Amino acid sequence: MPSHYIENSIPANNDVHIWYKYYDAQHQEFYQNELTDVAEESNRIIMHTPRRYFLATTEFAAFPELNFPLYKDRVYTSAINIPMVIFAGAAIINSSLVKVNTHNVYHYTGDTTFTVLSQNITCKKIYATSESELCTSACNFYFNDHYGFVLMEYNVLHKYFFSLRLHKEIK
C-alpha cells in the first residue's frame, strides 16, 4: 500500500498499520482513532477493516482481499476464524459460540471507473460472499493501484447495509 494515504505506517512482518478516524454525519469525530493493518504478501493483499461500534459487523464479512494474479472472472477462497470476544463491545449478537468460522468466496468481476477524491479512477472490483454458522454476508470491494481499497460496500447479517469510502488523501 502506498504510504501517502496512511497516517501512520509502521511495517512489521509485512504489515502496514492504518489509523481510522470515526466521524458522524456532521463530520464530527466521535471516537478515538483505531489501529488496524494491511498485510502485503507477494501473492495477496488483505486489509483488516475497522471494528468499533456497528463496524464490528465487518468481522462477519469477507475481509477486503486481492489474490494475484488477477484476471477477469477469477474466483478464490479463504477461511477466517473470528473469536467472539471481538463482538462483545458492539452488542451485536448474543451467542454461546466461542468463535465464528467464515468461508469466503471472492470473484474478480473486472475493472470499473468512478469518482473518488474529485477524480475519475479505475478500480478492480471484487464481489465477495461470506458464510458462517450465524449468517451470510456480501460485499463489493474496489481496489485502485495508487490508493488501495477506496470503497467497501457491505450487506452484513441481512440487515446492516453500509459503505466505507476513501474520503481524504493524507500526504
pLDDT of residue 131: 93
- Cα of first residue to Cα of last residue in the chain, in angstroms, is 13
Q: How far is 164 from 152, CA to CA, in rounded Å?
A: 5
pLDDT of residue 27: 73
pLDDT of residue 78: 93
Pick the more confident residue, 157 or 42: 42
Pick the more confident residue, 149 or 3: 149
pTM (2 d.p.): 0.80
Q: Which of left, alpha, beta for 85 (phi over 0: left; psi -120 to 50: alpha)?
A: alpha
Percent of the chain exceeding pLDDT 70 equals: 73
Strand partners, 102: 80
DSSP string, the chain: --GGG-S----BTTEEEEEEEEE-TTS-EEEEEEEEEEEE-SSEEEEPPP-SGGGGGGGGSPPPEEESSP-TT-EEEEEEEEEGGGGGGGT------SEEEEEEEEEEEEEEEEEETTEEEEEEEEEEEEE-SS-EEEEEEEEETTTEEEEEEEEETTTEEEEEE------
* CA-based nearest residue to 18, from 42, 2, 30, 29: 2
Pick the more confident residue, 60 or 27: 60
Contact 123, 54 (CB under 8 A): no
Pick the more confident residue, 87 or 82: 82
Pick the more confident residue, 91 or 69: 69
Q: What average pLDDT does the chain have?
A: 79
pLDDT of residue 165: 82
Using one digit for the tens of pLDDT, what is the confidence trace for 31-46?
A: 666 777 788 888 999 9
Domain boundaries of the chain, sorted by first residue? 13-165
